[in-house]
Amino acid sequence: MARKAVLIPDPEGLALLEEEMHRLCERMTEGVERSAQKNWDAHVETGKTRASVRAEHLGLTGRVYVQSKVWHFVEYGTSPHHIAAHGPYVLRNVEKRFFPGRSVVFHPGNAEFAPMRHAVYRRRDAFGLPISPSVFGGL
């Protein structure tokens, strides 16, 4: 005759485990926020993108937001492309040469810098968590 074991979890133990998971999620989220801000320090022109990094922790979900219109160009890089002026703007290229009266200039593109992904990976590694990147929203 086969026997089976019945596991009855201790409610107090589960509550302690849940509290610890909340603390870990909060520490992880805040760590990613600080690390992302530090990463953006190396890529600052106006400081608006760095200042827009903010963390939000709700239960077992932590999110770090970047509220900038151009952050993804830095994160993922760009391929070479032409830039067209819209309105009365003076265009200049990477050598700071101005092109008055020109409506299009060539941008050579830029390599990805990935301040957000590096922040996630650095915090994950610092905590020693054996977690795949897919847990962090596919980053």
pLDDT confidence of 139, banded at 50, 70, 90? very low
Looking at the domain assignment, is residue 59 inside a domain? Answer: yes
| Residues 61, 17 share a domain | yes
Write down the pLDDT at residue 71: 85
Write down the pLDDT at residue 46: 75
Task: Report pLDDT digits (tens) over 65-108.
Answer: 988 888 888 899 999 998 887 766 666 655 666 666 667 778 88
Write down the pLDDT at residue 88: 66
Range of the domain at 85: 78-111
Inform me whether the pLDDT recorded for 135 exceeds 70: no
| Residues 59, 23 share a domain | yes
Inform me whether the pLDDT recorded for 16 exceeds 80: yes
Inform me whether the pLDDT recorded for 18 exceeds 50: yes
**DSSP letter for each residue of 12-63:** HHHHHHHHHHHHHHHHHHHHHHHHHHHHHHTT-SSSHHHHHEEEEEETTEEE
Name the pTM for this structure: 0.67
Exposure of 94 in the CB half-sphere (CA atoms within 13 A): 8
Task: Report pLDDT digits (tens) over 24-70.
Answer: 889 989 999 999 998 888 777 777 888 889 999 888 889 999 888 88
How many Cβ atoms from other residues are within 10 Å of residue 33's Cβ? 21
Domain count, the chain: 2
Report CA-CA distances (Å) from 33 to 37, 70, 107, 128.
6, 18, 31, 18
| Residues 90, 53 share a domain | no
